[in-house]
Each structure stands twice: as structure tokens, then as C-alpha cells.
Chains A and B, each alone.
Chain A
Amino acid sequence: MFVGPFFLGLVVFIYVPILWSLYLSFFDAYNTVTPTKFVGLGNYADMLGDPSFRDSLLTFVVFAAFIVPTTFVLSLLVAVLVARTRVMQAFFRSVFFLPTACSYVVAALIWKMSIFSGVRFGLVNTVLGWFGQDPIPFLSVTHPPWYWLVIVSARLWLQVGFYMILFLAGLQRISPTLYEAAAIDGASQWQSFRYITLPQLRATSTAVLLLLLVNAFQAFDEFYNILNTFGTYPPYARPPLVYLYYVALGSGQDFGHGTAGAVILALLIAIVALVQGRITGIGRGGD
């Protein structure tokens, strides 16, 4: 009764679209959501045979392998530092959390047009200029791939604060008596971190890892806004969702291939999450 409205919303906006997507993925569905031409697994075969889509999947497996641990370590580090701070802790907590409140789109535009602008008066290029360096067109060249610097720094700035808060909450739940006992036993700082903090944060860490992982594969906003120029997106650093966006939601309304790609991506996320669960022991019961 109480969950009725919520459940209804869930059905209408989540389950029906998911099932409909599945249905569409087996049809030839150009510019229609009520297709008639059944193609079986044809769309799946096309998508898996599409080198651009495979490239983007591969790029994002590599991207996830890099960004997940990086964000994890950075947010944990910031959380531990903030938790240890005795002066102005609330201030530092807010400062690090604040970027979370910033829109991805706005941040992406600032990164693109101001900080990493390619002209000599862009922020980074101004600093480089002090050291006699020529301006670098960060987003216009692929050798070296400077665009990753722009994207990764924007993403870290936007996300670290949020995961820091999760870790902080976890840290505050660790009983101080554990640290006191360890201190009496003569444990070093590193030993307390390694044998008390880390194990006690296991539940939080697992959740953070899973969120990071899903997030990495669902990357869209900052990539799209930093690298997209007038409706075209370069073939490098192209997230699967951006590629699918161009397949199914641009002026190309190819829902059959688009939904097939989305199902493949969902399966990939599920598989990686399961593997990760195996490794980190999520749902293994116990504490």
C-alpha cells in the first residue's frame, strides 16, 4: 500500500523500458518503437562485429581498470587525512565535498574552455608559458593523448569528494578503542591503518568499488561535453554510452542496434561486477 506509488513508478519508468529495450533489440527498429521485422540475434551480431563498438568497450575496460583504483585510493587518502585533521575539519570536509554539487556539464565546459583551453591564455598554458613552454592544444591532438589528462582530472575533481564522504562515514564507525588498544600494543601508524582501518572499512570499500565500476562503464557527461564538437565525437576515448547515443538517439534513430548495444554493455557490467564480488567477497556473509 505504502510502496504502491513508488512501485508503480518503478514499473513504468524502469521495468517496462528495460523489457521494451530487450524486445527492440531483436528487431529491425529504425525510427520506430513498434517494429515488425524480427531479426533474431542479428543486431547483437552487428554490434559485436562493429569495430567501433568493440573499441569503445575495450577502451572502457582499460579506463575502468585505471580510474577505479585511482579514485578509490585518492578518496580514501583524502578521507583519512580529513578524519585526522583536528583544525577546521568541517571546512576541509566541505571543500572536498563541494565539487560533488557541481554539474558535470558545467565542470566539463570549464575544463575545456578555460583551464585546458588550447590558446596561449588558457590557464594551464599560461602557467606553461612562465616556463617558456609553447601552448599545448590539449583537446585537439592525439599524440600524446593529452585529452585523457583533461578528462581524468575533471572526473577525479568531480567524484573524489563523494566517495570521500562515504569513507568518512565508514571511518567514523570504527570504534576508537581499537586504535587505543593498538597504540598500547605499540602498533605503528601504518600498522593501525593496515590491520584496523582497512579491514573495518570492508563493507564501505566494497560498495565504493561497485559504484565506481558501474560509474566508469556508464561514463557519458564529461566525455561528451569535453570531446564532442558539433554532434561529432572523435573515435578515441569514446565511451560505449556515447557511441550508443549516436546510434540510437541522435538523428539516427536506430533503436534495434542501440538497445542491443545497451544489453551487451549491461551484461559486461554485470560480469565485471560479479568477478569483482568474487575477489572482494561481497555477499560472502559474516561481518
Chain B
Amino acid sequence: MTHTPRSSRTVLETPLARRRLFALGGGLAAASALAACGGNTGRETAATSGGAAGGKPALSQWYHQYGEAGTQQAVEKFAAAYPDAKVTVSWKPGDYDQSTAASLLTDAGPDVFEYGNGPTIDMIKAGQVADLTEVVASAKDDFNKAILDRMTYQGKVYAVPQVIDMQLLVYRKSMLEKAGVKPPTTIDELVAAAKKLTDSKVKGLFLGNDGGLGLGGPMLWAAGADYLTPDNTFGFGTPAAAAALGKLRELFTSNALLLGAPKDWFDASALTQGLCAIQWTGLWTLPDIQKALGDDFGVLPWPAMSGGKQSVPVGAYGSCVSTKSKNVDAAKKFVQWLWVDQTDKQLEWATAYGFHIPARQSLVSKADKLKTGPAADAAKLVQDFGHAQTPLLWTPKCATAFGDMMSRIVKDGADPAAQIAVVKPVVEAELKRVTS
């Protein structure tokens, strides 16, 4: 789902994952196109739209359908509490990213909307989203830096992070102890552990039914490379990066990976049902794991190779303002009120309905759920090793080329260096296009 800016895996998979499952029910292009044309935009009718409803401006705010109980009531409560405008919340099931992106082309779109990892670079370039630099100014240093940077282009902030999600490795302590395996901190240890933990019933490691293709990003970071360099040039043309991606092929062919699990990596059932000993999953599964395994589990970042660093991908929905809004200023003020000023509501949103990390450092320490056990470890991983899933300039076209490359390397056994050379011109052409 997260398709993110089509990064292969958006962190936001959580609710996204669930949502997407629902979306599958009708989630064809046609369906989402229709959804985009759907009548109820959440705006007031023509009589009041853009005008004043009882002296107050009317705003519509869109969310995708979160999976956790109580989330819809919560955002409606937040909106109703705003004194300076009449805010109508639209709760959008189905393929949210696509229908929202399409609705921004029309006058029927939202005033305020959330978008995975902030708006895309093409939304920014097309002038579809408003500059929110002033809105976050008062708390700029308090937001998680990796996330806020992801939503910033040329010094201007285009979205306010709402809540942080992350992906990480979770392992069964008892299984590792039984096999005499220590929690791995390097890629080689991980490969060895996966092999050692595999027997006829249990596979050592589950990285997803795609066989670990989605770990391309963390593998680059493990090798000290990245999708793009800090000054936005191609970031993984090194032998170390090629070697790292080759490690995923080694894992894929080792017979130690769980493949074709009924529920993919976004769900913890592979781990809780004993199909694997270590699983790549999202922070959102920790409550399920805790329920099933008690304290028989621990969390780990994606390991490193020499020259690289351990990492956890982090992502966040960012609240954006559409420039097609008839009340851009009122919309900005609302975003500032809810996602910058109202810290109690932000804390409630992050911790009361599921398992997320507040986007602001000052709130992390206030979150009771994040004070002990693996959850506390996970929160620390975000601070120490958090890495935005993909850079802002990593366009969908780059993501497709990267995904194709990963598939060819991992599944077909293609030479990593040669495949990287195929992707490089695609990425460079896209960089040239978006920065021109």
C-alpha cells in the first residue's frame, strides 16, 4: 500500500494495509475513478460552500479509512472542537491515494487532506498544495526530522506530520534461544540466523510474500548507500550497494525464507502462528503480537553491513492544504490549530486508537504505551535509526524501475551491478524532469 509515492512499502501500511484489503473488493482503477467522481465531497452545498456558514468559513477535511475502532469518531470530535470554521470530515474508504490525487484536479476536492509521507513532488510542482512553512514554524524543531524533511521541498514545508509509523524486525525470543541464536545485528548474522532457525515446520525469516523485494531500501542503507544522495543525485551506484542487494538474493535462495504466507508481512500472523522465527512487520502489529506471545518477543532494526548503518523505515501521513480551496487561509489556520497547537489531541490520535508514535519528540516521552518493553525499544529505534521510506524526489517512475530491478535481482538472480546500471538513467531522467 503504500504505495506511495509508490515506495515499495510505505510505512503507513498499517491502516493502509487493512484499508487496502477492503479496497481490493472494489479497488480497480474504475472503482477509484468513480469514487473520485462521487458526489459527497464533504463540502457544504453551493449555498454555503466557500462562503460563510453562520459567519464561519466551511472547510472539508479528508482522511483515509483507518482500521482502528474509534478513529473516525476521534477526528470528527477534533473537527467539531475547532472554533473558527465549520469543518466537515470525510472518511474515505477505498483507494484513498488515487481518488484523492484525482480529486485535486477538480473543484470537488478537499480543503484539507492527509497524504502518505506528504504530497508528491508532482503535486508540489503542479501547485496543488499550499506552502505550510509558517504553519509549522512555531514547532519546527520538535517534529521528527527525518519525517519533516521528507515533506519539505526547497526549504518550504508542504505538510504537517500527523503520526509516525515504522517497520522493523520482530523475533520470537524462545525460538532463538532454543536454536542458540543471538538477535542478529549484521546482515551476515541475519542470513546465518535465518538458516539456523529453519526446520521442516518453521522458516527462519519472513520478509513478505514478495520474497524480500521490499527491503531494497533498508539494504541500501545497510551498505551506506541511499536511493538519492543528500543533494539529490543517484545514490546507489556503488559496489557495496550491489553486494547488499545480492544478499537478498542469497536469502531468497537459501530456503530459509517463508514465502506465500496467507497474510502478508503487514500482519503478524506468520510470527504468531509459528510459521517463522523472525518477521519483518510494522509497529502496528505489536498489540497483536503481545496478545498472542506475551513477552516472548523482541524488536530489532534492519541490520547493517560494513560501511552502513542499521535502519528502520519510518513514514507518516501529512496534513496538506489544497490550493483549490476557496479558503486557503482558513484551511491553514485549521491545520495549525489541530496538528501544531493542540498537542493533547495529537497525543490522543497517536496513542489512544492503535499503536503509533507521535510525530513530535516532546510527545513521545508523554506516551505511556511507549515507556516499557518492546514498544519503548521501537520508539527508540525511530530516533536512532529512523529513515524516511523514500526521498521526496523518488517519483513513482523511479519506484517502478527500482521495484523491477529488485524483482530481477532477487527472483531471477540477475547481476545486481548490471541491474543498477539499468535503473540509473531512469532515475537521472526523472531527477532532471522534476528539478527543471
Contact = CB atoms under 8 A, between A and B. Distances in A.
**Chain A, interface residues (CB within 8 Å), range:** 35 or more
Given A31-B123, A249-B33, A251-B6, A105 B28 contact: yes
B25 interface: yes
A254 to B, nearest CB: 8
A249 to B, nearest CB: 5
Main secondary structure of the interface of B (DSSP, over half): loop
Contacts of A117: 260-262
Interface stretch (A63-71, A157-165, A222-230): A222-230
Contact of B260 (A105, A118, A230, A235): A118
A137 B273 CA distance: 18
Interface string A244-262: 0111011111100000000
Contacts of B208: 229
B366 interface: no
B399 A253 contact: no
Contacts of A250: 3, 6, 97-98, 396
Given A231-B3, A232-B8, A252 B407 contact: no
B128 interface: yes
Given A225-B24, A230-B13, A232-B8, A252 B395 contact: yes
Interface in B34-71: none
A33 interface: yes
Contacts, number: 156
B126 A105 contact: no
Interface string B3-20: 111101110010001001
A119 B262 contact: yes
Interface residues of B, number: 60
Interface in B408-435: 408, 411-413
B9 A230 contact: yes
A105 B26 contact: yes
B260 A231 contact: no
Nearest to A113: B262
B125 interface: yes
A7 interface: no
B2 to A, nearest CB: 6
Given A119-B260, A251-B396, A253-B105, 15 more contacts: A30-B125, A31-B120, A33-B105, A137-B211, A230-B214, A231-B1, A232-B210, A234-B213, A236-B407, A251-B97, A251-B98, A251-B120, A252-B396, A252-B397, A254-B396
21 contacts: A31-B128, A105-B26, A109-B24, A117-B260, A119-B258, A139-B260, A225-B24, A229-B208, A230-B2, A231-B1, A231-B3, A232-B3, A232-B403, A234-B213, A236-B407, A246-B400, A250-B396, A251-B396, A252-B6, A253-B101, A254-B397
Interface of A: 30-33, 52, 105-106, 109, 113-114, 116-119, 122, 135, 137-143, 220-221, 224-225, 229-236, 241, 245-247, 249-254
